[in-house]
Structure 1
Amino acid sequence: MSLKPWREIARPHKDVLEGTFKQSEFAADITQVANGTATPEYQDAEKFFNRTFITEGMRLLLISVAQRLAGQGGDPVIQLQTAFGGGKTHTMLAVFHLATRKVSTDKLLGVGPLLDKAGIFELPQAQVAVIDGIKLSPSQPRKYGTVQVNTLWGELAWQLLGEEGYAMVAASDIDGTSPGKEVLTKLIAKAAPCVILIDELLAYVRQLELGQNYKGGTFDSNITFIQALTEALKAVPNAILLASLPQSELEVGGTMGQRALNSLEKYFARVETVWKPVATEEAFEIVRRRLFEYPGDRAEVEGISRQFSDFYRKHADKFPVETQSNEYFERMCHSYPIHPEVFDRLYEDWSTLDKFQRTRGVLQYMAIIIHRLWNSENRDALIMPGSIPLEDGNVRDKSIHYLSNGWEPIIEKEVDGPRSIPYDLESHNTLFGSVLAARRTTRTLFLGSAPSNSSQIVRGIDVEHILLGTIQPFQAIGIFEDVLKRLRDRMHYLYADKERFWLDTKPNLRREMESRKNNINERDELIPFLKEKVKGIFGSNHHFAGIHIFTPSIDVPDDYGTGPRLVVLPLNASYSRTEANQAFVAAMDILRHRGEQPRQKQNRLIFFAADFDVVSRLKDQGRIYLAWKSIADDITSGTLNQDLAHLNQAKRNRDGAEQTLKQLVREAYKWLIAPSESFSNGKPILNWEVVAISTTAPNVIQEIESRLKEEEWLIFEWSPIHLRNILKQWYLKNDIDEVSALKVWQDSCHYLYLPRLVNDQVFRNAINHGVASQDYFAFASGKDGDRYLGLSFGHNAISSIDTSSLLIDREAALSYLERIRPVAKPVEQSDDIVSSKPVVTEGTITKPTASDNNLEVTKKTIPAKKQFYASISVDPVKAKMDFAMIMDEVVQQFTSRLGVDVTISIEIQAKSSIGFDDGLQRSIKENCKVLKFSSAEFEED
């Protein structure tokens, strides 16, 4: 679903469309209208009311004026005191046209209902006097034919009754003294019904220096005149005075201006009613009425506004609370085609600027914007803060006209335009560019923060209002949130404090950061730092014998180890599916060599590489973090002289950069690389097998081991059938029936075409499970001639593997057992003894049976043997294995029986032709003491 653009619903006035309006035309001039020289939109009463929105304040004021002129009550004196540009002069013009109308009231849009409300069926025309404090000068009299007018009261009398009126105050006008209340009452009564409009009165009075006498009178005489005038108006029931007094300090002026204002307010306060013509909400309609000839069909306007309102409610957590109410929907309807956020920022933020006039300033500013958007065929649904085309020279000049110096280069570089950062972001990211996300965001930031200053307690605009000023329905909010983060990381004049952002003419610390970032030495600073960050992603609980990060080949051990070794390749050896892979080159060097020596245990290495597409971002982020860290450290130590705000910015950016860095490390290191070999025409071919691990897994090392297990690149459990297949394929063939078990294990560590086992325990477990039955292979602890020692076949009896251990082909083991099976021989029985003896077959160890304890005595009793002695010399190299066999096959025979006490003594003799050194002697004695040897001595001979 799409939104209909505002240009297809509303139509601006012709002068706005064509750009023929003059900025001065938005400044109503009461004197020009009184003289008949104003532009038609102000001079013509009918056109004026057609373009004028009658606010609540103006409605009440016009009712009071009408009642006063009709002699039906009303206020005699009305003071229009509002902020700069608040609509004072415009309100006076409405009164002027109502009093002097040259057409019937039914042709004045909005006037008829007012008169009906006042109960007035026929409104008399009135004489109007316009006193403009800016046009008049205390030192320069005005000439009207032969009459010279010097003072305000002379000007008033002349405008009301001409020469007749002037004659009533002529003496006072010549002397510069105020006429009395009675004279003024007679003058006003004779001119009634009449309206006196005094605009910019303060501008006139503040020119009168104390103690100085001017053609226009003294300060005191003018203040006295105002006092007398207000009192006189109370006595004339069909006469009214409207006077404008400023509210802003800019209009008041200096000390004299403030003194004059205080005096004027004192006398006006006795009789006046203060009207505030324009409320903020009403300004919507004022601007729309003046700028748009046709604001759009009501149904279409409500339809667009409803889509915006529903969008805000659907994403309530992303937008300000006020957008959730039906009142905000009504505001959008009333301000269409301009978004209420534009008015809020102009009236709440920009109106605080001394030079910015509330109504007039908004009119001037929006007229330029609408003209530019119309000509550029803008397709936005509403004119939003993000729509303001600050790249346009006229719009930019009008924007910075109200601001302090220094904003123009900031707008060009960081807010809008073909050379700006937002434009660059959109050019390189189609997702941003498709909705102008970066420029709309910076325009909104400018409108919402440019009027702020460092003295404000809370500066800038929050994220909710930034999104409010940029996003239209059916657009992805995440795009704008992402672009805001990108802008924060690149812009030099953008500040951020928690969730608030603002632009300033003072650069932030980003330029300092970028300078430091570019000076970071990659070899000496960046790589060692990133090495530590990469190291931090691995835990300590794993099956690897070692994890070697950015380690040269000479420092990667070439051993069997307690597990394989994970080699983390450096950043310049990254992996890419499309680019030439430096990862394979670096891995090959470590795989084949240990320094300058050839590597033997090649099948104990697995490689872990970074992603080529992430490496540059990771390095850049590492530099950013180091730069921010150094800035924060220097500000804290006083080396860098900055304020607390900059320190907070540095710390916040440092912490943010660190968090991003952690994420990038995880994103970068994702490729597991395992070398393997296959054979073609009898020649081995090296293969690199690559798989990506999850970058979001909570435990990296567990994820690595899981993928290695899943891909069967690392064997954690090995079935004996697989071991038998390996034996058949590579060892037990061509009439070879046996192979060294230790060689098979070591070969699996050497050769890439063999399975890669986690450790030797996996190998032993496979053997144990295999010899538990007679289905796979047999195991022998050694061989003496053609006899197998410690044969295990059909029962689990393997304890260790050494150089003598053998794995025997299944068929060969069965044949061997058949060959050594004992042959039954006839037993000759004597007349005296019938006995049964165990049969010892050569090459086997035979265990006694139950019948051995039940020898039947017939003719002669044999004394029982109650003690056993034995001694044996063992090979010191094989002592551990031999002692284990002695324990299993001899000692265990005794200890398994009740009532048998076994004593074992170990005698160790060692001789050296050159003698034992002191270190060895000390070590042996300490160990023997710990092992509780009964005696342990070294002798000279």
Structure 2
Amino acid sequence: MTIKPWRQIAVPHADVLKGTFQQAEFAADLSRVHAGTASAEYQDPALFFQRTFITEGMRLLLDSVLKRLSGQGGDPVIQLQTAFGGGKTHTMLAVYHLAKGEVPASDLQGVAAILDAAQITELPRARIAVLDGIKSSPNQPIKRDGQALRTLWGDLAWQLGGSDGYALVADADMSGTSPGKAVLETLLAQCAPCVILIDELVAYVRQFEDGKALSGGSFDSNLSFVQALTEALKAVPTAVLLASLPESDKEAGSQRGVKALEALAHHFGRVQALWKPVATEEAFEIVRRRLFASINDRLAMESVCRAFADFYTTHRDDFPAETQESRYFERLVHAYPIHPEVFDRLYEDWSTLDNFQRTRGVLKMMAKVIHRLWKDGNNDPLIMPGSLPLYDADVRNEVIYYLPQGWDPVLERDVDGERAETTEIENKDTRFGSVQACRRAARSVFLGSAPSTTNQLVRGLELERVLLGSVQPGQQIGLFKDALRRLGDRLHYLNHANNRFWLDTRPNLRREMEERKRRFQDKEDVFPTVRERVQRGFASGVFGGIHVFTDSGDVPDDWALRLVVLPPDAAFSKSGQSLGIDRAGEILKKRGDQPRFKQNRLIFLAADYDSVSRLKDHVRSFLAWRSIVADYKDNRIVLDNLMAKQASASLEQAEETVRRMIRETYKWIVAPMQEARPGKGLSELRWEHLQVNPSAQNWSQEVERVLKDNELLINEWAPIHLAKVLRDWFWKDDAKETSALNVWQQSCQQLYLPRLKDDTVFQQTLAAGTESRDFYGFAQGKEDGRYLGFSYGKRTSLIMDTSLLLIEPFAAAAYMEALRVAEEASRAKAADTSAGASTTTVTTGGGGDTPRIEDSGKGGYPSGTGAAGQALKKQFYGSIEIDPILAKKQFADLVDEVVQHFTMRTGVKVKIAIEIQAESATGFDDGLQRTVKENCNVLKFKNAEFESGE
């Protein structure tokens, strides 16, 4: 159902539409009306009552005045001190126009009902005296028709009775002393029925100094006059006095003003009447009468109000409890076209501000609001807190006027306007922009929280009230909740806690956090934090070592499987070449300045390029919150309890966000690979990239699972696969056996070979193949062409050291056949010898029956001397010349391929001596000689001398 905008139903007064209203027009001036110089809306009785809503309190007051003037009772003295709906002066004006009787009662809207209730058929015309404490001067007489009037009683007598009346108090007026009660009774009786209106009396009396007489009398004489006047009024049944007094000491002004207020209140209090304050719904009508000329379509108005009431009932969980009551529909009707929540916030919250006058302040503010909304073509069904055009300079200045200093930047940056964060969010997110969700929510929070103070035990506006001031029927409530969450993350002056929202002139903790975020640098602060969190999240698991953000020189080059976690500035991107691949390639090739040999033992974990910036931002937020909490605990900053709790909660949330973000960012496993292509050799180095699941419980297990599933890591290996590797790479070029240890070591070094989890997997594979003759045979060494500890096709225990050999199956079968033949021949020989049947001898290579390996394929038995006749070789000596340019690599190869075979055996002593010779035809300079000698001393050279060479 389409509901009509307020502008099509309610028409503002012309001065509101045109923006021609003045602040003074909202302040009724009793003296100007009495002098006949006020604006038409106050001067014209009919127009005045047309724009005046007669509240219950005002009705009772007018009833009392009319009865008093008619001699039917009523109160003689009425003190207007309570700040109720229409205002004190506004109420005096109503009495003034009634008592003056210039217009028939039938022309005064709402008066006829009062006359009927008082059973008065005709308005009695009364004489009226108006005493304005602000316009009167204690030491400057005023002149009326040539007569100088010095005191209040002189002015009163002249206004009521002219020269005859003044004659009664002339002497008292000249001397500045109060006339007696009897004189005032005579004056009132002669002029009755009469009305005396005294406005701002305290402002007049407080000007008198103690013990000092002025032309207007003295402090005490004026108090005596008030006392005498109030007593005299009781004796005259058709005379009535209305006097306004300030409501608070602050309004009274100085210390003397407070003293005057106390004294006057005491005297008036003896005979004053108390009046019922205005109800909130009456205040609605007061403002509507003053600001709006008419309601064009009451049926449409009620339709709008019903739509709002039904909307609140349907979504009862999202709005305050009072919206579920049937009378809330009546409140909507009474307040139309202004939403009741606007009045509630202004009358309940803004009226607590010292300089915000209840009705006058509401009128001034709403007049400017309505003018701007009408000018901008606002089409809201009601004028709601979320409708306030705080982007308008006049409206903004009006609301800021009542608030302490510092609110202008709050409105400009966080609430409304072209440069506000709310506008920027809505421009970027059309979901919010389509209904101005951010601006409407921020305006509602401002109206409900700006008058609050830090001393309040419970600060802020509940979520339900923010929604009440923002959401219109037919709109999605969840959208406004999302907008509030977004505002909580973005705005600098918005605070929220315990489901409440409030704005403050002090930047919120988020603003402080944003400022601190700028302090933290990537290399010095962010990366170490990420490194700590990554290390905390990993268990070693399958890896012999996990190296987080480690330089290549600190990643060992050994047989253990190692995971290298690259820093955030070496991220990986699927879209193309990335810094992660470059950094991984550097670590793969070198360990510091040395070449890396065990390349197939490295796996890399890299950050996602597109997520790194968000990760760094979240880490900075975490560091900022951590510093705030630390400063609070160390008393370096002051936070109230609510802000301290908020900081702690934000720190916990930021830490959890960092933990989750690290898992989401470090999701790429990068593994180096090479392919062996038949006839073409090895392919170029390439990198496999695989994605891990960031939500997995155990990070290490997830990495291991992905590697296993994609066969980049093998923890169970079948002998058939090992046999294939042996055939392809080790049993070549007439080689019939290879070192098992060498196969394992080569699998750790060469990227085209399978990557085994560890040597246990390799040994288990070897053991699994011992009983089969399809894969390989074994020997625990080879000596003089014979296999030591030969085994083929039967279970055997293996010791994987440098002597363990893997024999090609055909060669193992041939060797096994040769062993069998030799054994049969040996048995036959033994039998012939014992029988004396033969004298033929067969000489084997070892002097026994075991065949040599090179003859095993021939089926014969070569001759030669036995092993027993050979001397044991107990020493080794070797020399080699090394290229001085490639010395590092060649020496490393030398250690791995030669020296290591000796050092791995127990009881072997190895001695390595290095001889360096250098010659120069031009000779070595002194600096070079000094440097080399010093370095040789440090390295503990036995000899290091330079010679002339002659």
Bin of the TM-score, shorter chain as denominator length: 0.7 to 0.9
Task: Please tell me the residue identity of whatever aligns with 1:670.
Answer: K
Does residue 584 of the first structure (1) align with residue 611 of the second (2)?
A: no
For 1:483 and 1:211, how far apart are their aligned partners in 2?
66
Give deviations 1:599-618, integer Å, cap 9, x for gaps. Answer: 33333333222233443344
- In the TM superposition, 1:742-891 aligns within 5 A as 745-763=744-762, 777=775, 780=778, 801=800
Match of 2:247 in 1: 247
Does residue 616 of the first structure (1) align with residue 613 of the second (2)?
A: yes
Does residue 557 of the first structure (1) align with residue 563 of the second (2)?
A: no
- Greater alpha carbon shift after TM alignment, 607-616 vs 641-650: 641-650
Task: Please tell me the residue identity of whatever aligns with 2:616.
Answer: K
8 Å CA contact 1:85–1:357 kept in 2: the answer is: no
Give deviations 1:293-336, integer Å, cap 9, x for gaps. Answer: 456733333244236624763336xxx66666666665555444
- In the TM superposition, 1:461-610 aligns within 5 A as 469=469, 473-475=475-477, 476-487=479-490, 491=492, 518-520=518-520, 522-536=522-536, 538-540=537-539, 542-561=541-560, 564-577=561-574, 581-610=578-607
Task: Please tell me the residue identity of whatever aligns with 1:400.
Answer: I
Task: Please tell me the residue identity of whatever aligns with 2:584.
Answer: A
Decide whether aligned partners of structure 1 residues 187 and 578 sit closer, same or farther in structure 2, where only a CA change above 3 A counts.
Answer: farther
- Greater alpha carbon shift after TM alignment, 433-442 vs 142-151: 433-442
Match of 2:133 in 1: 133
Decide whether aligned partners of structure 1 residues 117 and 85 sit closer, same or farther in structure 2, where only a CA change above 3 A counts.
Answer: closer
- Greater alpha carbon shift after TM alignment, 424-433 vs 270-279: 424-433
Match of 2:57 in 1: 57
Deviation at 1:22, TM superposition (A): 1.4
Decide whether aligned partners of structure 1 residues 312 and 346 sit closer, same or farther in structure 2, where only a CA change above 3 A counts.
Answer: farther
Match of 1:906 in 2: none
Match of 1:361 in 2: 361
- Greater alpha carbon shift after TM alignment, 226-235 vs 708-717: 708-717
Task: Please tell me the residue identity of whatever aligns with 2:592.
Answer: G
For 2:369 and 2:719, how far apart are their aligned partners in 1?
82
Decide whether aligned partners of structure 1 residues 542 and 90 sit closer, same or farther in structure 2, where only a CA change above 3 A counts.
Answer: farther
Match of 1:924 in 2: none
Match of 1:231 in 2: 231
Q: Percent identity?
A: 52
Match of 2:302 in 1: 299
Match of 1:665 in 2: 662
For 1:331 and 1:732, how far apart are their aligned partners in 2?
98
For 1:912 and 1:760, how far apart are their aligned partners in 2?
24
The root-mean-square deviation of aligned C-alpha atoms, in Å, is 4.8
Does residue 74 of the first structure (1) align with residue 77 of the second (2)?
A: no
Query: SS state of the match for residue 211, structure 1?
Result: coil
Does residue 674 of the first structure (1) align with residue 676 of the second (2)?
A: no
Match of 2:699 in 1: 700
Decide whether aligned partners of structure 1 residues 759 and 267 sit closer, same or farther in structure 2, where only a CA change above 3 A counts.
Answer: same
Does residue 201 of the first structure (1) align with residue 192 of the second (2)?
A: no
For 1:622 and 1:632, how far apart are their aligned partners in 2?
15
Give deviations 1:114-159, integer Å, cap 9, x for gaps. Answer: 4444455554444443332222222333333243333323333343
8 Å CA contact 1:444–1:466 kept in 2: the answer is: yes
Give deviations 1:544-589, integer Å, cap 9, x for gaps. Answer: 222211111222223331xx32221112112344576222222222
Runs of 5+ consecutive residues of structure 2 not aligned to the other structure:
829-848, 852-872, 875-904, 912-950
Query: SS state of the match for residue 605, structure 2?
Result: strand
Match of 2:15 in 1: 15
Match of 2:272 in 1: 272
Deviation at 1:286, TM superposition (A): 2.6
- In the TM superposition, 1:327-406 aligns within 5 A as 331-332=331-332, 334-380=334-380, 382-406=382-406
Deviation at 1:88, TM superposition (A): 1.5
Query: SS state of the match for residue 214, structure 2?
Result: coil
Query: SS state of the match for residue 75, structure 2?
Result: coil
Decide whether aligned partners of structure 1 residues 225 and 608 sit closer, same or farther in structure 2, where only a CA change above 3 A counts.
Answer: same
Decide whether aligned partners of structure 1 residues 467 and 913 sit closer, same or farther in structure 2, where only a CA change above 3 A counts.
Answer: closer
Match of 1:256 in 2: 256
For 2:411 and 2:98, how far apart are their aligned partners in 1?
46
8 Å CA contact 2:777–2:809 kept in 1: the answer is: no
8 Å CA contact 2:488–2:496 kept in 1: the answer is: no
Give deviations 1:185-208, integer Å, cap 9, x for gaps. Answer: 444444444433222222222223
Deviation at 1:535, TM superposition (A): 2.4
8 Å CA contact 2:509–2:643 kept in 1: the answer is: no
Decide whether aligned partners of structure 1 residues 568 and 433 sit closer, same or farther in structure 2, where only a CA change above 3 A counts.
Answer: farther
Give deviations 1:25-56, integer Å, cap 9, x for gaps. Answer: 11122222333332232233333333333333
8 Å CA contact 1:157–1:165 kept in 2: the answer is: yes
- Greater alpha carbon shift after TM alignment, 15-24 vs 713-722: 713-722
Give deviations 1:663-684, integer Å, cap 9, x for gaps. Answer: 4434433333334445776652
For 1:393 and 1:498, how far apart are their aligned partners in 2?
33
Deviation at 1:253, TM superposition (A): 0.9
Task: Please tell me the residue identity of whatever aligns with 1:286.
Answer: I
Deviation at 1:254, TM superposition (A): 0.9
8 Å CA contact 2:285–2:335 kept in 1: the answer is: yes
Task: Please tell me the residue identity of whatever aligns with 2:305.
Answer: E
Decide whether aligned partners of structure 1 residues 253 and 733 sit closer, same or farther in structure 2, where only a CA change above 3 A counts.
Answer: same
Decide whether aligned partners of structure 1 residues 387 and 540 sit closer, same or farther in structure 2, where only a CA change above 3 A counts.
Answer: same
For 1:695 and 1:477, how far apart are their aligned partners in 2?
32
Decide whether aligned partners of structure 1 residues 597 and 73 sit closer, same or farther in structure 2, where only a CA change above 3 A counts.
Answer: same
Decide whether aligned partners of structure 1 residues 88 and 625 sit closer, same or farther in structure 2, where only a CA change above 3 A counts.
Answer: same
Decide whether aligned partners of structure 1 residues 119 and 723 sit closer, same or farther in structure 2, where only a CA change above 3 A counts.
Answer: farther
Decide whether aligned partners of structure 1 residues 792 and 162 sit closer, same or farther in structure 2, where only a CA change above 3 A counts.
Answer: farther
Deviation at 1:442, TM superposition (A): 5.0
Structure-2-length-normalised TM-score: 0.74
Deviation at 1:360, TM superposition (A): 0.9
Deviation at 1:251, TM superposition (A): 1.6
Match of 1:217 in 2: 217
Deviation at 1:754, TM superposition (A): 4.9
Decide whether aligned partners of structure 1 residues 598 and 164 sit closer, same or farther in structure 2, where only a CA change above 3 A counts.
Answer: same
Decide whether aligned partners of structure 1 residues 342 and 299 sit closer, same or farther in structure 2, where only a CA change above 3 A counts.
Answer: closer
Match of 1:177 in 2: 177
Decide whether aligned partners of structure 1 residues 608 and 265 sit closer, same or farther in structure 2, where only a CA change above 3 A counts.
Answer: same
Deviation at 1:101, TM superposition (A): 5.1
Task: Please tell me the residue identity of whatever aligns with 2:543.
Answer: F
Deviation at 1:370, TM superposition (A): 2.5
For 1:48 and 1:168, how far apart are their aligned partners in 2?
36
Deviation at 1:12, TM superposition (A): 3.1
Deviation at 1:262, TM superposition (A): 1.0
For 2:97 and 2:814, how far apart are their aligned partners in 1?
128
For 1:813 and 1:106, how far apart are their aligned partners in 2?
132
Decide whether aligned partners of structure 1 residues 607 and 168 sit closer, same or farther in structure 2, where only a CA change above 3 A counts.
Answer: same
Task: Please tell me the residue identity of whatever aligns with 1:549.
Answer: V
Match of 2:36 in 1: 36
8 Å CA contact 1:87–1:277 kept in 2: the answer is: no
Deviation at 1:479, TM superposition (A): 2.7
8 Å CA contact 2:792–2:812 kept in 1: the answer is: no
Query: SS state of the match for residue 273, structure 2?
Result: strand
Task: Please tell me the residue identity of whatever aligns with 2:136.
Answer: L
In the alignment of these two chains, the number of paired residues is 828
Deviation at 1:234, TM superposition (A): 3.0
Query: SS state of the match for residue 672, structure 1?
Result: strand
Query: SS state of the match for residue 48, structure 1?
Result: helix
Decide whether aligned partners of structure 1 residues 352 and 812 sit closer, same or farther in structure 2, where only a CA change above 3 A counts.
Answer: farther
8 Å CA contact 2:158–2:166 kept in 1: the answer is: yes
